[in-house]
Amino acid sequence: MDSGPTSPPRLLEQVHAAIRVRHLSPATDAVYTKWIRGYILFHGKRHPREMGATEVEAYLSHLATKAKVAPSTQNQAKAALLFLYKVVLGTELPWLDHVVQAKKTPRLPVVLSPTEVARLLDQMTGTMGLFARLLYGTGMRLKEGLRLRVKDIDFERREIIVREGKGSKDRVTMLPESLVGPLQDHLLKVRALHTQDLEEGFGEVWTPNALGVKSRGLGKKWHWQWVFPSRLRSPDPDGGTIRRHFIYPESVQWAIREAASRADIAKPVSPHVLRHSFATHLLSSGYDIRTIQELLGHKDVETTMIYTHVLNRGGHGVASPLDRMGTKPPQIKGDQ
């Protein structure tokens, strides 16, 4: 029987569908949905088709002046609204391209010294310790390391293939010699866990671009498994299939912050700081900046050039005139 006309999908459902069709990441899906929902709520739940440049500028201005978000966050919100209007609603609005873009203040990255990296890693053991060493030893971003699959590690060539990094590009980075043994031992435990999952009727991981549909059972193959799987199985947000995902990014961030605290490192330390340190330490060892650009997966060498500024000593390597005078340091005697 004809059940009658079906109602058109709701706006946020259209956003989800447009993101999936373009194979954008779940993180992009979550972020874009957040800003689009916020934009609609900010304007009293009016439909975006009824709004224009004035409403977009008002929302972005609110984020900067009232919500006090960073320029990069404000630009992220603008990108979400561009996606909404141009892709989801199919509306060509020249005015949207001219909405003021927040300017980022140039910042030097936080970099640990080799001694500080050693102190940090000495405070980390087990899976988190292995993962942190892999980030520092390869220069991978946090999510690139989390999405690493068994098939992407080449132990013979001592290489790691980073799949769909920033900009959806693949690249090759090194596999540190010191991590070959620990990684192989780790994968033995992961394989035992995978075997147990298969015996219990599970063991299928998410595969990109509907590969699991085209090649049935592909997601259960050993070489497609995550290198760093979660300890628990959970439902997939897109479909509800019970799977074992990779470990939570927040778990890694917390573990590194706690290790930095125990190591008494007086700098804001995050997983990305290990990537910054990787690049800076290679530069200080004399490696070519183009090589480092390829290892990091930077599109433009200008992005990699920021690490040359970090290498400069205070004042761009210029010696202070105080240091040339040879005067004795003052004697500090209690409270003055």
Catalytic center residues:
141, 166, 272, 275, 298, 307
Amino acid at 212: G
Identify the DSSP state of 25: -
Q: How many CB atoms lie within 10 A of CB 44?
A: 6
Distance CA 86, CA 92 (A): 6
Q: Can you tell me whether residue 306 is helix, strand or coil?
A: helix
Task: Please state the φ and ψ torsions of residue 159, each to the nearest 5 degrees.
Answer: -130, 155
Comparing CA positions, the residue from 171, 152, 160, 158 lying closest to residue 223 is 152
Q: Give Cα 234 to chain centroid, integer Å.
A: 22
Cα end-to-end distance, the chain, whole Å: 92
Q: How many CB atoms lie within 10 A of CB 38?
A: 16
Distance CA 198, CA 202 (A): 5
Q: Which two tokens stand for residue 297?
A: 């997966």
| Pairing status of strand 234-235 against strand 171-174 | unpaired
Residues contacting 230, CB < 8 A, separation 6+: 244, 245, 246, 247, 248
Cα 88 to Cα 33, 102, 288: the distances in Å are: 12, 24, 43
Comparing CA positions, the residue from 99, 102, 103 lying closest to residue 81 is 99
CA atoms within 13 Å, Cβ hemisphere of 67? 17
Q: Which residue has the tokens 């147990």?
A: 196
